[in-house]
Structure 1
């Protein structure tokens, strides 16, 4: 590059720096009813100068930052950027229809839809996109810390961040994501301990739902392996090795909207191989015998599919769905308050930890994406672990 070209480049940059400096010196912001607005100039198609007053935030600093962003966009594109006046509710529905439904898993869509319906929409649904600010989201989340758990707040934040990121990068409704600098506040609610079944409760459950009852098999599977309900309902006989006594978890059943779908598991780490003992082996053999007996009894009316051969089925061969387990959850609420089918998974993990199994082993067996997830849920000192610790301390203190 010769000196002449270098001088031209420097002169060009100085011109724009001078222009931006002049614009900043002429910045005009004002406060109206606790809301700050900035004014930016633009030219129409005929070259006439026009002024646009736009909402900038709830503080002077926010309004000045919004002005600088609008100014940078005008210099980059040559025209004034107009933030969308669409209501947040309308935008969220568009995001769910065009992005979430097509790119994310159904369970994630369910979680985001619930967060929007129960939390986000009541608080911000009627606001315009251009009126959303970082401060408003941060203050709102701080107010939720005394009402909801950390996991609930994480879902809300993830939903907001993803939606508004799409508004900026894909739709160009906004210049910047107001959630970018929002941080998760410390939660003041105590973390909930996982509800587990006592040994006495397990005996009552398997007496109430013995071999031959449709609900028995998924309960047994979850109790002996820690599998999630969807994983139990998606398990096929081809993924059960009776000789090696292993189960390959490669799918999960989703039936909350329409016919049952077999999807990939929750996370990559959820694809795993679980070993089991002689007790579950005997249960699986009994299940095979039960299905073969039903197949003979129902004959042509046995509704087993040709593509899948599920372990958990109804007497007539149909695949079990989550609706078929609702009675079990209702019964649990009456006899063992606070528990549900998922309590089998909690029980399995707690029993392993109480009997000295390492956290990393339990994490892999459950299919958690991180050992920290396991620790956050189960690393509480149970009564048995506390007693064992005291007994051990007595020996050397």
Structure 2
């Protein structure tokens, strides 16, 4: 084994015999320490023994590889919102730091050191997203493209964050009353607010909901998709996760709201006549006065209004409020988890089980009676 140090990098040399029987020497970057270079040498030799030839790590720039990954993998296998998120992560974080690096030059040590630096400037969720993008793309480089022998992200660890988790913001009863006074029945924003409050649905799920998804007799809603409208014409895509495809039951209050919404749409359709801009293929529940499907852009004003009158809240606070009210009134955590469409009950527990002060008070009162 021959390894040597050049400046602050270590290189190893490996021999290979080509198809004509000519012997060649290849020197390659092995890492920033001698032990890393030795480990890279052993991996190269193991691959040579296994296949009979030397494995040449890809010499393309990491930015070029990421573009290929986005076009050939992410485009077909990831949700549009995830692709948007990863595009932002790549352009704002990964490419400025590693874009010009050769793919073969990436090491666990370099990536781990960078992740540790990010902790001082970015939240835990942002760092986790960056790591997820790196890990997924480099896994594809190993398993699908065979550009690398091993994934340098496999042993990169998320640094510990000692801060307490943020408590989800919920609407108080007074806030709910103020919201429905400001956005009453007949206002386009009223219906998505009502759906989110009574069912815990996400905004995209509300905007994708069609009348065909409702069973007014059984009083159930079948959620089968979500609305993606960040680029161009809105389109209905698959739900966030497989568990997000679910059936939700509702009561008499939402039933009355849905009946009123149907009458409001019928009235608008009659008054507008041929100028009613209803989708010919989809009969959406959340529409504008002229029949157009609502988009997330139409709901932006609601978010701005919330920030002004109830700081820290947003449309998503309806979902937090719904879940919190169910838990505080004794509904089982597994039921709430399924109703929200969480992929795991642990997600529900981590987000909501720490904010139910009412349950804490009830527990204290029970202990007082028992002990």
TM beyond 0.5: yes
Which among 52, 55, 77 is matched to residue 26 of structure 2?
52
Query: For residue 206 of structure 1, what is the aligned residue in structure 2?
Result: 180
Cα offset, 1:57, TM superposition: 0.8
**Mapping of 1:176-255 within 5 angstroms?**
176-255=150-229
Cα offset, 1:146, TM superposition: 4.8
* Structure 1: distance between partners of 2:146 and 2:270: 62
C-alpha spacing 1:131/1:189, structure 2 compared with 1 (3 Å):
farther
Cα offset, 1:209, TM superposition: 0.7
Which among 143, 164, 176 is matched to residue 138 of structure 2?
164
Cα offset, 1:375, TM superposition: 0.8
RMSD: 1.8
SS in 1 for 2:286: coil
SS in 2 for 1:109: helix
* Structure 2: distance between partners of 1:46 and 1:361: 68
Which among 62, 66, 69 is matched to residue 92 of structure 1?
66
Query: For residue 68 of structure 1, what is the aligned residue in structure 2?
Result: 42
Which is greater in Rg?
1
Query: For residue 54 of structure 2, what is the aligned residue in structure 1?
Result: 80
Which among 341, 347, 350 is matched to residue 367 of structure 1?
341
**Mapping of 1:115-194 within 5 angstroms?**
115-194=89-168
C-alpha spacing 1:110/1:175, structure 2 compared with 1 (3 Å):
same
* Structure 2: distance between partners of 1:97 and 1:29: 37
Cα offset, 1:149, TM superposition: 4.3
Q: Larger deviation: 319-328 or 377-386?
A: 377-386
Q: Larger deviation: 117-126 or 348-357?
A: 117-126
Q: Larger deviation: 101-110 or 347-356?
A: 101-110
SS in 1 for 2:222: strand
Cα offset, 1:48, TM superposition: 4.0
Cα offset, 1:150, TM superposition: 4.1
C-alpha spacing 1:381/1:392, structure 2 compared with 1 (3 Å):
farther
Query: For residue 376 of structure 1, what is the aligned residue in structure 2?
Result: 350
User: Paired residues, what number?
Assistant: 371
TM-score, length of structure 2 as denominator length: 0.94
TM-score, length of structure 1 as denominator length: 0.88
Contact 1:313 1:320 in 2 (8 A): yes
Q: Deviations over 1:175-207 (max 9, x none)?
A: 221112223343333321111111111111111
Cα offset, 1:282, TM superposition: 1.0
C-alpha spacing 1:378/1:369, structure 2 compared with 1 (3 Å):
same
Which 4+ stretches in 1 moved above 6 angstroms? none
